[in-house]
Amino acid sequence: MKFFADTADVKEIRELASAGLIDGVTTNPTLIMRSGRGFIESIAEICKIVDGPVSAEVTALAADEMIEQGRRLLQIAKNVAVKVPLTLDGLKACRALSQGGAMVNVTLCFSPAQALLAAKAGARFISPFVGRLDDVSQVGMDLIRSIRTIYDNYSAITTEILVASVRHPLHVVEAAEIGADVCTCPPDILRKLLQHPLTDIGLEAFLADWKKSGQKIV
């Protein structure tokens, strides 16, 4: 499973990329706003840091305007993935842009039926929001299971399942068990995946014993 960083914080992206932990980045207008930087400027810099897809979201609602904005975003870098909402106009834009060779990430997916339609429109990625479903007392990961089952029924579907709205490490583990293609995580969730108390205890004990030995490696 691929990992994308769900952030527009260039410092965080650079650190995670240097450790080889991420394969791409997802952004949205809210994340860009929090970064305090210009939209085009932020996307351009992120695209230089990571080789994989960098999702940049349109802000229009009408299909023709989404297509126009998407084409502008594609001029930023070759690894830009245009993110469009899961509406009829969004799917029209998805079809037009994907037929032109663009990567399109269809976002705000909350049902298997929506995911199936996005695949038919040519989406490279479908972004189901598991955390937001959990927030309204639905099991978000059940949606990932349903989409995986549907997509696996049809060899013609090449759309990748990009698990979004990830709230904790268990979401990530379950996504991997189900067979999701991508999981996009805030940097703090990626760091939590590294943490385990037994790792800390073991490392402390090893270092204490090494110190007692009086030896040096260099």
Determine the length of the chain. Answer: 218
Q: Which helix (H) or strand (E) holds 124?
A: none
- Model-level pTM? 0.94
> What CATH code is assigned to 2-213?
3.20.20.70
Domain extents for the chain? 2-213
CB contact set of 145 (below 8 Å; sequence gap of 6+): 178
What angle do helix axes 169-178 and 187-194 make, rounded to 10 degrees?
Answer: 80
Give the CA distances from residue 11 to residues 45, 46, 49, 77, 191, in Å, rounded to whole numbers and listed in that order.
Answer: 11, 10, 10, 19, 14
Per-residue pLDDT of the chain in tens (218 residues, 90 and over written 9) = 999 999 999 999 999 999 999 999 999 988 998 888 899 999 999 999 999 999 999 999 999 999 999 999 999 999 999 999 999 999 999 999 999 999 999 999 999 999 999 999 999 999 999 999 999 999 999 999 999 999 999 999 999 999 999 999 999 999 999 999 999 999 999 999 999 999 999 999 999 999 999 999 98
* Strand partners for 81: 55, 103
Contact 111, 88 (CB under 8 A): no
Place of tokens 């399109």: 104
The per-residue pLDDT for 36 is: 85
The per-residue pLDDT for 146 is: 98
d(CA 18, CA 214): 33
Closest CA relative to residue 166, chosen from 146, 148, 192: 192
Give the CA distances from residue 201 to residues 169, 188, 190, 192, 216, in Å, rounded to whole numbers and listed in that order.
Answer: 21, 22, 21, 16, 22
Closest CA relative to residue 60, chosen from 33, 83, 35: 83
What angle do helix axes 112-120 and 140-152 make, rounded to 10 degrees?
Answer: 40
Q: Which residues are catalytic?
A: 83
The per-residue pLDDT for 37 is: 87
